[in-house]
A and B are shown apart, each in its own frame.
Chain A
């Protein structure tokens, strides 16, 4: 991180330089919001490089598959398990990183033998960066307009987050409804076929009881 000193050819005010250095040390928003398919008896791990003192949060939800549950565990760079849950449908976990390094979070479907799951996770590290680098740590306070903008921005982020959760739940319900629809079709066709087969075989079986075998009646009569 000593590159900040090397780049400053023309001398900007030392305060600005300090602010830039602080910005460099500040946690950057890294994170991902992804949905992936986890096959049966499989495990999928993701790794993330986290600075010391940074706060990260993991949000996950199972969208389709089986009983809609998955195992999840989070490990710190030293190998300690800081979070472990089995057969959870959805959960949220936040943690402040004590150790700098690569943190690993894994989703496991190893307990299931035939249902593959679709899992959504949202992993966020640090705080949100400002839209322009020099808007971050300002020396002067924000004007009223700017504070209003910040408030609205935070509120809209909440709206977007709740839209995401709603969309996930709706995807779950829709998958179930489509499943039900196809199951009804298959079951109806299957039952019709079974009905025909059973009624036909009933009639044939009954007829066979009363059909004389060639050999025995002759033997009885004589």
Chain B
């Protein structure tokens, strides 16, 4: 009985703003970087608004303004390249650990006279355990509140574990880079000493034979 009422309030609240927003112009691309371990679910809830100069405030965007989302994984492969409406959410799951690049830009899909309009993108990105909808769990499996709290703790611990594994992978890469630098410095200095000595010897020999030919030595 209370549940529909509660859900209603929750929806009312979510419509009120959401997270921060940034101002963009049409076709201006804004990119964000998320460094995440593999298997992380990322959900981005967004809402776009158009600045109305007459009313001097932002109004919700009309339907012909679309958001293009491009997500690139650490190997520069496209994980997500889609067009979304003026509000909604996009989601992707990371396949490999590392830096993922999320790029957004707005475009009007019909040929509209776009006076230099200002647009605002409200963005709210959630990762890992924040993407769980506990209300859904409660309704589906009829879990008690304590069970839900424990579920949240389990998810948090799993997130920590994943992050630690990712950290181990990163440290290994860091160590490989450092060892490679170390090796390179060592081999190049040896090589350059040899080159230096060889060049010196060649110079002496060449000049000696040159002067001998000139009958100066």
Q: Do A and B come from one complex?
A: yes
Q: Which residues of A contact B (CB under 8 A)?
A: 3-4, 7-8, 10, 12, 16, 20, 23-24, 28, 30-37, 44-49, 118, 123, 131-135, 143, 145-146, 149-150, 152-153, 156-157, 159-160, 163, 166-167, 170-171, 173-174, 177-178, 180-181, 184-185, 188, 191-192, 195-196, 199, 202-203, 206-207, 210
Given that A12-B2, A32-B125, A195-B196 are known contacts, is A159 also in contact with B160, CB under 8 Å in the complex?
yes
Query: When each residue 178-201 of chain B gets 1 if its CB lies under 8 Å from chain A and 0 otherwise, what string results?
Result: 101100110010011001100110
CB distance from B204 to the nearest CB of A (A): 10
Sorted from nearest, which 3 A-B pairs have the closest CB atoms?
Answer: A188-B188, A35-B33, A149-B149
13 A/B residue pairs, CB under 8 Å, sorted by A? A3-B12, A23-B9, A30-B18, A32-B124, A32-B125, A37-B33, A133-B9, A146-B149, A166-B167, A167-B167, A181-B181, A188-B188, A199-B202
B9→A24 contact, CB < 8 A: yes
- Which residues does chain B contribute within 8 Å of A33, judged by CB atoms? 125
- Which residues does chain B contribute within 8 Å of A188, judged by CB atoms? 184, 188, 192
- Which residues does chain B contribute within 8 Å of A133, judged by CB atoms? 6, 9-10, 135
- Which residues does chain A contribute within 8 Å of B123, judged by CB atoms? 32
Since A149-B150, A196-B199, A199-B200 are in contact, a sample of 6 more A-B pairs with Cβ atoms closer than 8 Å, ordered by chain A residue number, is: A12-B5, A23-B9, A24-B9, A156-B160, A195-B199, A202-B203
CA distance A37 to B101 in the complex (A): 10
Q: Which residues of B contact A (CB under 8 A)?
A: 1-2, 5-6, 8-10, 12-13, 17-23, 30-35, 120, 123-125, 134-135, 138, 145-146, 148-150, 152-153, 156-157, 159-160, 163-164, 167, 170-171, 173-174, 177-178, 180-181, 184-185, 188, 191-192, 195-196, 199-200, 202-203, 206-207, 210-211, 214, 216
Given that A123-B20, A156-B157 are known contacts, is A30 also in contact with B124, CB under 8 Å in the complex?
yes
A131→B149 contact, CB < 8 A: yes
CB distance from A22 to the nearest CB of B (A): 11
CA distance A5 to B153 in the complex (A): 35
CB distance from A127 to the nearest CB of B (A): 14
CA distance A177 to B185 in the complex (A): 13
Given that A7-B5, A31-B19, A195-B195 are known contacts, is A132 also in contact with B33, CB under 8 Å in the complex?
no
- Which residues does chain A contribute within 8 Å of B167, judged by CB atoms? 163, 166-167, 170
Majority SS of interface residues in chain B?
Answer: helix
A210→B210 contact, CB < 8 A: yes
A30→B19 contact, CB < 8 A: yes
B30→A36 contact, CB < 8 A: yes
Given that A37-B31, A177-B181 are known contacts, is A149 also in contact with B207, CB under 8 Å in the complex?
no
CA distance A31 to B124 in the complex (A): 7
Output the residue of B160, B167, B171, B177 with the most chain A CB within 10 A: B177
A30→B146 contact, CB < 8 A: no
